Amino acid sequence: MAKELQGLDKDKLKQYWAVNVRLTAIIMGIWFVVTYVCAFFAPQLNQIVILGFPMGYYMGAQGSLIIFVVLIFWYAARMNKADKEFGVEEEE
Amino acid sequence: MGMSNVGSKSFLDNLGKIYGMYTGGFIVFVILLGIAEAYFGMSPKAIGYTYMGITIGLYAMIGIASRTAKISEYYVAGRSVPAIFNGMATGSDWMSAASFIGMAGTIFGLGYDGLAYIMGWTGGYVLLAVFLGPYLRKFGQYTIPDFLGARYGGNAARSIGILAAITASFTYLIAQVTGVGIIMSRFLNLDFGVGVFVGLAGILVCSMLGGMKAVTWTQVAQYIILIVAYLIPPTVMSYKATGNPISEIAYGQVLQKIDAKEKAINADTKEIEVMALWKAQADKLDADIKGLPASLDGKKADLNAKLAAAATPAEKEAAEKALKALPATPEAAKEAWGAAKTAALGKSKPIKPYIQPFARLDAKNMLALTFCLMVGTAGLPHILMRYYTVPSVKEARTSVGWSLFFIFLLYFTAPAVAAFARNEVLNSVIGLPISQLPAWMANWGKVGLVAFKDINADGFLQFYELTIAPDAIVLAMPEIAGLPYVISGLVAAGGLAAALSTADGLLLTISNALSHDLYYKMIDPKASITRRLTLSRALLVVVALISAYVATFKLTIIVELVAWAFSIAAASFFPALVMGIWDKRANKTGALVGMWVGFLSCLIYMIGSRFYGLDIWGIKTISSGLFGIPLGFLTIYVVSRMTTPPSKEMQDFVESVRIPKGASQAHAE
């Protein structure tokens, strides 16, 4: 099972995983802020109204969702690039 | 277009063209039906039957054209589904009858607090994208119990996986089959039981011959129909109400109108009069409850006297009916009257503002619910297994993005649907003379989804004289928007597509858990391919029949059980899966104990809080996973470190799952 590990540089693998962990942490941080922090402060955010939308309501109904979609595509693009940088991409 | 070659290279190369033609063809079909209705007087019943016949026929054709005898096609669609199409298939796999029909109505009723469902059921995909999806694809087997079995060495972990997969999927499946029955019976005037079994035939023909391959390509077709059906009514309604067809942008101004009208209603003397009448009603119920059992006996005696004195058959019938409706025992009376009292009390107070956070759920429970729904989403096996079907790790990552994008299209429209419906009800219906109410209210009143009663007998409709069931919002939207019946039929076809596609995925998950994990991996590892496939197909039929049978009882507990399934998946599956990838030190003992602790702590809180008054921090039953999830993680972490570390081989396995290289080798079988 682990034959794909053969010939790979241990340090490079470590670096690759570190890149992944850091990116995951950043994404989870943003995810936490747009859902839980924004929802917690929704009463205050609702004081700001743009195009009729109270901002607290908007974040729950749309803003957070848009950020979720962007986060996942960003993660995919960044990791797909990192695969090549560290030579762990899959064979085509 | 060569329907007989579904899954072949020329099919896969021309996916965009094929589904583009399909979408165009479907739109032409809707337009033709519209012309038939407008110029040739096609009846609603005929329109309903045409929609159901054509769409189920289409799904069946795809299902039959996708028949296969190859294991990898049957279980994982040959791992050949491109990211964007897997995204669409996941979208309709995920969006159930509840999302399609119920979500907008939930927000209509709960206001801001209902957004817990919107954020919860989308935010979970972020967890799936970074913690699980790509790694499961790299692992590259067939089922989720497969991963637990491989990572935590053996049948014990696999067995818990099978148990959790079946528990979560089966309750969810019954809800879908019930949804199919409701739509069929409402739009085709079929008996509920007949509707269930007709729908079932549609589900089976899509999954039995072609397994995951057939389900995938049917789900893509179903996604297209459900999203077209969902987006048309709010677009028209938004254009009519604001001049802007993009409902998701336009409903901001509508939110302001809702807020203003709610304030006006709370200050209106007639409305206050109705609230006072509800308060009196609540007090009366309270006195009755306190006066039990004498109050129940008194009511019984009154009605019996009325029955004896009845002069006309109509009076007699009314008295008999009232007698029958009376609770049988003092205990039943206490529960029924208690619920009525709570409802009456709710209507005796001013309207809580729609846009105000935490007016109906407190902040703690709203955040807890969002969290449980998120983690539950990332732990549901029928969604997770979809990421086995893409060709590579790279595509798995992108595919989660596409999945959420296609789900997002519906979920960011649902609050707009809710807002337009609420605005219409508040600003165009409330305050009308009872004799001039719009036709849709009477139509949906007949099926019990809308109810109104002139409580203060002033001849006008006040806010608390009207009750609208959550399901009515989406189903009645075309009529509220003044659209022809052809669009109502389209919405029904969309709801049916949502229920069928989710049912397909769930059914496959259950039968795979039994045929692949239980039979092939644990009972008879030497079974031939033919035997495994035959068994799996037979199980599909058996599980489908059982679920239909259970659905015909129309148990009210099912809706609740579905919500429980999320917390159970979240607490039992998610920690073990994530730790299996992210913590090399996690071992078999830790995972086993952790899964049981997560599962049981969740279950204990559910049952305890629902039936025995257990209460920690005021957390509601629906968010029981709040305790199970962290306990599951903690247990795996601690117990693993107290016991022997996993072997070097196992640690290498974890290492290999973490990198995409070598994913195509898992492809080979």
Counting residues of chain B whose pLDDT is more than 70, the rounded percentage is 98
What distances in angstroms separate CA B444 from CA B52, B185, B450, B471, B474, one per listed residue? 21, 14, 6, 10, 12
Contact B126 A71 (CB under 8 A): yes
Does pLDDT of A78 surpass 60? yes
Contacts of A76 in chain B (CB under 8 A): 129, 394, 397-398, 400-401
In this prediction, residue B4 has a pLDDT band, given cuts at 50, 70 and 90, of very low
CA distance B70 to B50: 35
Q: What is the mean pLDDT of residues B454-464?
A: 89
Taking only the tens place, the pLDDT of each residue in B395-426 is: 999 999 999 999 999 999 999 999 999 999 99
Taking only the tens place, the pLDDT of each residue in B242-267 is: 889 998 998 989 999 999 999 999 99
Taking only the tens place, the pLDDT of each residue in B501-552 is: 999 999 999 988 888 888 888 888 888 888 888 888 888 889 989 988 888 8
In sequence order, the β-bridge partners of residue A54 are: A49
Whether B281 maps to a domain, the answer reads: no
Q: What is the mean pLDDT of residues B570-589?
A: 92
Taking CA atoms, what residue in A is nearest to B412? A62
In this prediction, residue B588 has a pLDDT band, given cuts at 50, 70 and 90, of very high
In this prediction, residue B368 has a pLDDT band, given cuts at 50, 70 and 90, of very high
Do B497 and B128 touch, CB atoms closer than 8 A?
Answer: no
Q: What is the mean pLDDT of residues B172-186?
A: 85
CA distance B467 to B252: 25
Taking CA atoms, what residue in B is nearest to A89? B661
Taking CA atoms, what residue in A is nearest to B111? A57
CA distance B115 to B359: 12
Taking only the tens place, the pLDDT of each residue in B547-564 is: 888 888 877 676 677 778
Smallest Cβ distance to B130: which of A60, A65, A75? A75
pLDDT at B3: 47
Give the domain extent around B208. 3-237+362-416+485-554
Whether B296 maps to a domain, the answer reads: no
Does pLDDT of A28 surpass 90? yes
The amino acid that residue B152 corresponds to is Y
The shortest C-alpha distance from A89 to chain B (Å) reads 5
The shortest C-alpha distance from B394 to chain A (Å) reads 6
Whether B576 maps to a domain, the answer reads: no
In sequence order, the β-bridge partners of residue B452 are: B466
More confident residue, B14 or B420: B420
Taking CA atoms, what residue in B is nearest to A73? B401
CA nearest neighbour of B165 among B576, B530, B466: B576
The shortest C-alpha distance from B261 to chain A (Å) reads 15
Whether B455 maps to a domain, the answer reads: no
Please provide the DSSP assignment of B420-442 as one string.
Answer: HHHHHIIIIITTSBGGG--HHHH
Does pLDDT of B666 surpass 60? no
pLDDT at B305: 87
Contacts of A19 in chain B (CB under 8 A): none
Q: Which of B98-112, B367-381, B611-625 has the lowest mean pLDDT?
A: B611-625
CA nearest neighbour of B217 among B402, B94, B62: B62
The shortest C-alpha distance from B288 to chain A (Å) reads 40
Give this prediction's pTM: 0.91
Whether B355 maps to a domain, the answer reads: no
Contact B357 A65 (CB under 8 A): no
Counting residues of chain A whose pLDDT is more than 70, the rounded percentage is 96
Touching A: B residues 344-373, CB under 8 Å: 355-358, 363, 366-367, 370-371
In this prediction, residue A2 has a pLDDT band, given cuts at 50, 70 and 90, of low
Q: What is the mean pLDDT of residues B580-603?
A: 92
Taking CA atoms, what residue in A is nearest to B119? A60
Burial class of B287 by CB neighbour count within 10 A (0 to 12, 13 to 18, 19+): exposed
Contacts of B401 in chain A (CB under 8 A): 69, 72-73, 76
Contacts of B404 in chain A (CB under 8 A): 68-69, 72
Contact B394 A53 (CB under 8 A): no
Q: What is the mean pLDDT of residues B2-18?
A: 73
- Domain at B139, CATH number: 1.20.1730.10
Taking CA atoms, what residue in B is nearest to A30? B126
Taking CA atoms, what residue in B is nearest to A50? B252
Q: What is the mean pLDDT of residues B642-655?
A: 91
ipTM value for the complex: 0.95
pLDDT at B625: 86
Smallest Cβ distance to B367: which of A36, A50, A65? A36
The shortest C-alpha distance from B391 to chain A (Å) reads 10
CA distance B181 to B193: 7
The shortest C-alpha distance from B569 to chain A (Å) reads 21
On whether any CB of chain A is under 8 Å from the CB of B49, the answer is no
Q: Residue B343, Cα to own-chain centre: how many angstroms?
A: 25
CB < 8 Å & 24+ apart, contacts of B455-458: B455/B274, B455/B277, B455/B278, B456/B270, B456/B273, B456/B274, B456/B277, B458/B270, B458/B273
CA distance B209 to B201: 13
Q: Which of A43-57, B188-202, B356-370, B498-512 has the lowest mean pLDDT?
A: B188-202
CA nearest neighbour of B616 among B382, B375, B364: B364
What ranges do the domains of chain A cover? 10-83
Contact B394 A42 (CB under 8 A): no
pLDDT at B108: 92
On whether any CB of chain A is under 8 Å from the CB of B215, the answer is no
Does pLDDT of A57 surpass 60? yes
Q: How many domains does chain B have?
A: 1
Contact A53 B408 (CB under 8 A): no
Touching A: B residues 616-655, CB under 8 Å: 649, 652-653, 655
On whether any CB of chain A is under 8 Å from the CB of B126, the answer is yes
pLDDT at B1: 40
In this prediction, residue A92 has a pLDDT band, given cuts at 50, 70 and 90, of low
Contact B658 A17 (CB under 8 A): yes
Number of alpha helices (DSSP H) and beta strands (DSSP E) in chain A: 5, 2
Q: What is the mean pLDDT of residues B452-465?
A: 89
pLDDT at A3: 66
pLDDT at B36: 92
Mean pLDDT of chain B: 88
Contacts of B659 in chain A (CB under 8 A): 4-5, 8, 13, 16, 83, 88
Contact B415 A61 (CB under 8 A): yes
Does pLDDT of B131 surpass 50? yes
In sequence order, the β-bridge partners of residue B466 are: B452
